[in-house]
């Protein structure tokens, strides 16, 4: 069987998940909020700027504030989305 190639638009989310140690749910929340994974570096510098929350907590906080619920109803990983779409 041939391994499926991951589209570029999903690769940046997978890389951000690995780089910033985010969960599948946090990545899904960030995607639903319309956040840009290229900008996560400026959001995740809580070591230099201690008043900032860690990136995962920040995403969860703004998701709950925007959607009035703590997490998505159904959490799907990007890999599962690619398999389901057949792309």
The tokens of 13 are what?
């989310």
19 found inside a domain = yes
pTM given for the model: 0.87
- Structural domain containing residue 49: 8-85
pLDDT digits 0-9 by tens, 3-40: 668 888 899 999 999 999 999 999 999 999 999 999 99
Alpha-carbon distance of 25 to 29, in angstroms, equals 6
Query: Shortest CA distance to 12 belongs to which of 37, 30, 45?
Result: 37
2 found inside a domain = no
pLDDT digits 0-9 by tens, 39-86: 999 888 888 888 889 999 999 999 999 999 999 999 999 989 888 887
16 found inside a domain = yes
Determine the pLDDT at residue 2: 55
Rg for the chain, CA atoms, rounded: 14
Determine the pLDDT at residue 40: 94
Domain count, the chain: 1
CA-CA-CA-CA dihedral for 84, 16, 12, 58, to nearest 10? 80
């Amino acid at each position: 069987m041939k391994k499926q190639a991951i589209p570029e638009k999903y690769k940046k989310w997978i890389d951000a998940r690995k780089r910033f140690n985010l969960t599948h749910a946090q990545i899904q929340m960030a995607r639903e909020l319309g956040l840009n994974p290229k900008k996560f570096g400026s959001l995740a510098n809580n070591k230099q700027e201690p008043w900032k929350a860690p990136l995962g907590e920040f995403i969860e906080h703004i998701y709950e504030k925007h959607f009035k619920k703590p997490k998505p109803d159904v959490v799907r990983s990007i890999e599962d989305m690619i398999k389901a779409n057949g792309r």
